[in-house]
Amino acid sequence: MSQDPLDPGEQNWEALLRSMLGEQGAQEAIAAMRAAGIDPSAMAQAAGLPSGGAELSVMLSQIQHLMATGEDGPLNWSLARDVSAQLVNQGGDPTVTAAHAAEVTTALQTAELWLDTATDLPPAAGQRHAWSRADWVSHTLPTWQRLVEPVAASMVAAMQQVIADQAEMLEGHPLAAQLGNPATLLNKLGGAVMGMQIGHAVGTLAGEVFGTSDTGLPLADSGTMALVPHNVLAFSEGLDVPEAEVRLFLATREAAHARLFSHASWLGPQLLAAVESYAGEIAIDTDAMEQAVRDLDISDPEALREAMAGGMFAVGQTESQRAALQRLETMLALVEGWVEEVTAGAVAAHLPHAIPLREMMRRRRAAGGPAESTFASLVGLELRPRRLREAATLWGEVARHGGTAARDDLWAHPDLLPNAADLDAPLEFVAARESAAAHEEDVDAALAQLLGSADEASGAGAAEKDEATGDGPSDEGPADGGEPAGDDR
């Protein structure tokens, strides 16, 4: 007797399993589901499988990415790139024209001239670009990879431990033979879930950012300056400010960031190291993971994906992480506060809406800007926007009392920078610096006086010695007994 033909939903489900398990494995999985009383067509509908051939091809392609052998380590970066590209395309990514590039280049060049009057830091020796949203993703993804892989490594290590503890339960599942090694399956899906998360975060961010430095981190190569023209336009459309003025304001912020990271060459690596230090110590809640594994129905890929993207990887902060988080928050606040103050000084005489634009950027951060949302979704960092306002106040006070040179000189070494307590009391920080400077002047003056007295004493002693030994100057004739010079005979 011939087998009943599969309905469309079951055909899609079989095609899905074939992409994951191969021809023979798919047939055995379908048979096992029927034997267990599972309706494959109902399963397909519950999993949301598409019915059209083109849609199914797209989904199968995504599944192949999920199950691909990992050349990318603990995180599926191929999937991350694809997800971010899909989000960029869905949101629209208009072409950057030559006119856009010329506008951005002119704005950045103008910004450099304005900044020369507001800071002693020299311009960054980097390229100036007008990027599409896809360009922004491709140029910043390597830095995201560096920041997120410690989280993925922690996740994989925790998964391996949980899987080892639950190996007997997983191996006894009716579909374990068809699905293969549970550890391999879950590791691949874990890397895929992380890949999807970062791809979604970076792809979403690409539709919001103005340039390379919105997060406060150096996401592009050193000295690189770029604006995303269509994001600048979208931002200006919601304001009662001409687009050209918005572009110049944002270009000045971008160029100020570039100057700072170029001058303080230690700053970028230290910021990235602080994020890595925090992420590298992320501790996965293995109890929550074990509970999720016990509740998994590995015959349902959609349920598996939802479990892994949900609470399975809940994390908790350690004391060292809290300390690392405070250092990172303080450093990011100092960077953004300095840029805000320098930008305000640079554009004040040129942009009629300089003050409203500054306030608009502050409100944007307070509502949870790109930095806060991205860090929260990728490495669990919850940054506090209020620190940025306090940092701007501190830099303003330093410049008011000591000038822009005193403000900018603090970036010469990390030990000179204010700390978290200084952000709470900027006037005390300024007073302490003035007191230290006055003390140094007193020490220098005392040392100079001491050295001067020693020189005088040394000179007097030498003169007395000359008199005692007769080595001093004499009015007598030449020592050789010759005739005096100029003697006429």
**DSSP states of 18-79 as a string?**
HHHHHHHHHHHHHHHHHHTT--HHHHHHHTT---SHHHHHHHHHHHHHHHS--SSTTS-HHH
| pLDDT in the model for residue 257 | 96
What are the percentages of helix, strand and coil residues in the chain, rounded to 5? 70, 0, 25
pLDDT at 39: 58
Checking phi first, is residue 22 left (phi over 0); if not, alpha (psi -120 to 50) or beta? left
The pLDDT of residue 450: 75
pLDDT for position 55: 46
* Low pLDDT (below 50) residues in the chain: 1-10, 20-21, 43-60, 65, 69-72, 174-175, 178-179, 298, 301, 309, 311-314, 474-475, 477-479, 481-489
Alpha carbon of 70 to those of 75, 112, 152: distances in Å? 8, 45, 13
Helices (H), 68-209: 77-91, 98-115, 133-165, 167-171, 176-179, 182-206
**What integer pLDDT is reported at residue 412 of this predicted model?**
94
> For 450-477, how does the pLDDT look when each residue is reduced to its tens digit (9 = 90+)?
777 666 666 666 566 666 565 555 445 4
The pLDDT value given to residue 292: 59
pLDDT tens digit string along 423-453?
Answer: 999 889 999 888 876 656 656 666 777 777 6
In one-letter notation, the amino acid at residue 451 is L
Q: What angle do CA 166, 298, 33 make, to 5 degrees?
A: 130
Q: What global pTM score does this model have?
A: 0.72
DSSP code at position 120: S
Query: pLDDT tens for residues 349-381?
Result: 999 999 999 999 888 877 766 656 666 666 666
What is the structure's pLDDT at 315? 54
Pairing of strands 128-130, 225-227: parallel
| pLDDT recorded at residue 101 | 96
- What is the structure's pLDDT at 1? 39
Residue 352 DSSP SS3: coil
What pLDDT shows up at residue 6? 43
362, burial (CB in 10 Å: exposed 0-12, middle 13-18, buried 19+): middle
- Sign, CA torsion 221/227/229/232: positive
